[in-house]
Amino acid sequence: MNILKELETKLSRDAKISEIKFEGSEIVLYTKNREFFQDHEQVIKRIVSSIKKRVEVRPDLSITMDQEKAKKVIKDIVPKDAGIQAVYFEPELGKVVIESSKPGLVIGRGGETYRRIKNETLWLPKIERAPAIKSEIVRAVRNLLHSEIPYRKKFLNKIGQNINAINEEEEKKEEWVRLSFLGGAKQVGRSCILVETPNSNVLMDCGIDVGTDTTPYLDVPEFNIEKLNAIVASHAHLDHVGYIPYIYSLGYTGPLYCTAPTRDLMVLLCLDYIDVCQREGKDVHYTKKAIEKAVKHSIALDYGEVSDITPDIRLTLQAAGHLLGSSLVHLHIGEGLHNILYTGDLKFGSSRLFEPAFTDFQRVETLIMESTYGGQGDTMPSRRDSEAKLLEIIERTVKQGGKCLIPSFAVGRAQEIMAILASNGLEHPIWMEGMLWDATAIHTAYPEYLSRYLQRNIFHKGNNPFLSPVFKRVAPKERNGIIDSSEPGVIIATSGMLIGGPAVEYLKGLAPDKKNTLVFVGYQAEGTPGRRIQKGWKEIPLSFEGGRTKSLKMEMGVETVHGLSGHADRNELTSFIYKLASKPERIIINHGDSKKCSELARDVHRMFRVETLAPKNLEVARIK
């Protein structure tokens, strides 16, 4: 029976339903009955229990309050200190968007203020947090999604129809599941895995190898863009999402599932990737229009939110502990046929920014796990020792009148370092240049994704480390003044592996002086300038003005602080497997150097007595 017709039979005529629509995996009812809109919870709860689908009730426009009047009512209802930044309407969806610096006050204790807004204006409130630091990216993404409401309403309805389109004959097909490794197998970079069933094709991540600019193998028989049902992005680093816009540039118009922070950070990093390619004369795989197209087709999910994404695959994202909005991807396939857990990148230890990766999965038959630090010797010092070492290096450098240069990934590592330095009361200036300021602004828009410790500080103590006055934003024209000044301090700049960006320019100016120190706090891939310096090279070939390559003499000190990584080390990876609520039948190791993948697969087999695989790119595995 058609699920929408079944839903209609469960609603009385008094509900005055004017429209029933799919919106992705959700069903939306539009009502002309004021009382039903105001008080429908019990009725809808019974229906949801019966049809096993999420249902939302929205007002038909015929009953909503005039927009200008509603805006005034909202501002009268909401406390003055809620910091309302904007109020605007999405009439196609029956929603009023309220952007506030303190969303909790807009919702009110027990949701009381939210209910008042809804009941008095007869608009469905949608509350969004305004970033504490102005973010052009967050604003642009929200404006784009708002401007595309009519298109997205049709798009989401089509997705819902496709999800629920399976017929009885299709249900009788032989059931199977297989994986195609199109990138990220026995390498760090260009992660891309295709999940296939008789009814579905889902791509988990699609990234770029930033060091070599190589891309996933999309020219294989297994990948057919016409059959692609969905893309799921685990997190926003370019080696996981950097090639997603390219798929949209090929004409794909299906959904991209991820968390809201992942969506916003993906835009930031992909736009920067285009700019870097253009500056360096490299081929650009896609345009800014392709990034906009990806956003236009994105569906943001919260942690723990269960969503049907194809006729036979149900998706749940859970915290991975690696990056703002980073997710473990859980796919429930068929009616209990098979469950896949894809970790993307994970952290299963303490950090300033995030809680350790989620482990309470009730069913996992196949685990696909990263192995960036999965080698036998890849054990990191304690977080306390790592932080103490970083602070000691900074203090020593500053005492001798020098500057510490910390090359950092714009997203994740930079904010981790900021949280450490702010919490330890560092008084010396911390200059920041590059994308990392924009990335930090995005972090302030989504504090709910941060650690409980940071949330307590931000929400209850009003102490947001990212807003500390010790951090100084630097414009490119100010860079030389900082290099030439005698004032000691800390510089945090991109890129983390010294492939390009402001960090390289600071390195050129600071390298000749022994008083200065270069501090590595993250992974340095083979072949990058960062790895060469880490190995002890005293002369580094770098591109200077005019495009000429010169050797830079390294006189400054070089230090590496291990233990601040956003990746799990060997012990954390095995602990993650041990702590999983469901013991996997099969563990597939990827996202690591070839040797580390093989070593970890071998040792995990010995430890847990399960089947393990360490596939190569282009290999295909049937897992059910």
160-176 per-position pLDDT tens digit: 999 988 644 455 678 99
Backbone angles phi, psi at 366, to 5 degrees: -120, 125
Residue whose tokens read 């100016």? 509
Please state which architecture CATH assigns to domain 149-165+178-376+567-622: 4-Layer Sandwich (3.60)
Please state which architecture CATH assigns to domain 3-62: 2-Layer Sandwich (3.30)
Q: For the chain, percent helix, then strand, then coil, each to nearest 5? A: 40, 20, 40
- Of 311, 331, 336, the closest CA to residue 171 belongs to 311
pLDDT-derived band of residue 5, with 50, 70 and 90 as boundaries? confident
Read off the DSSP letter of residue 93: G
Checking if the pLDDT of 434 tops 80, the result is: no
Checking if the pLDDT of 252 tops 70, the result is: yes
526-558 per-position pLDDT tens digit: 788 999 999 999 998 888 776 678 889 999 999
Q: Are 86 and 97 in contact (CB under 8 A)?
A: yes
Residue 1: its pLDDT value, please? Answer: 47
CA dist 230 and 519 (Å) reads: 40
The residues pairing with 462 across neighbouring beta strands, listed in sequence order, are none
CA atoms within a 13 Å half-sphere pointing along the CA-CB vector of 548: 5
pTM to 2 decimal places: 0.94
Centre a 10 Å sphere on the Cβ of residue 181 and count the other Cβ atoms it contains: 25
**Type and span of the H or E element at 87:** strand 84-90
Please state which architecture CATH assigns to domain 384-560: 3-Layer(aba) Sandwich (3.40)
- Of 52, 22, 16, 49, the closest CA to residue 35 belongs to 16
CATH class of the domain at 65-130: alpha beta
Read off the DSSP letter of residue 11: S
* Per-residue tokens: 492: 């945090």
* Cis amide bond preceding 135, omega within 30: no
| pLDDT above 70 as % of the chain | 98
Centre a 10 Å sphere on the Cβ of residue 557 and count the other Cβ atoms it contains: 18
Going from N- to C-terminal start, the domains of the chain cover 3-62, 65-130, 149-165+178-376+567-622, 384-560
193-218 per-position pLDDT tens digit: 999 999 999 999 999 998 788 999 99
Query: Maximum distance among all alpha carbons in the chain?
Result: 81
CA dist 48 and 304 (Å) reads: 17
* Type of residue found at 370: E
Checking if the pLDDT of 222 tops 80, the result is: yes
User: Over the chain, what is the mean pLDDT?
Assistant: 94
Please compute the mean of the pLDDT values over residues 257-262 and round it to a whole number. Answer: 98
Q: Are 326 and 344 in contact (CB under 8 A)?
A: yes
The two domains 65-130 and 384-560 share their CATH topology (first three levels equal): no
Centre a 10 Å sphere on the Cβ of residue 503 and count the other Cβ atoms it contains: 27
Please compute the mean of the pLDDT values over residues 483-493 and round it to a whole number. Answer: 94
Residue 168: its pLDDT value, please? Answer: 43
Residue 199: its pLDDT value, please? Answer: 93
Strand pairing of 178-183 and 620-622?
antiparallel
344-396 per-position pLDDT tens digit: 999 999 899 999 999 999 999 999 999 999 999 899 999 999 999 999 999 99
Residue 170: its pLDDT value, please? Answer: 52
Residue whose tokens read 């967050």? 138
Please compute the mean of the pLDDT values over residues 513-517 and round it to a whole number. Answer: 96
Checking if the pLDDT of 250 tops 60, the result is: yes
Please compute the mean of the pLDDT values over residues 259-283 and round it to a whole number. Answer: 93
| C-alpha pair distances (Å), 575 with each of 382, 443, 580, 602 | 15, 28, 9, 16
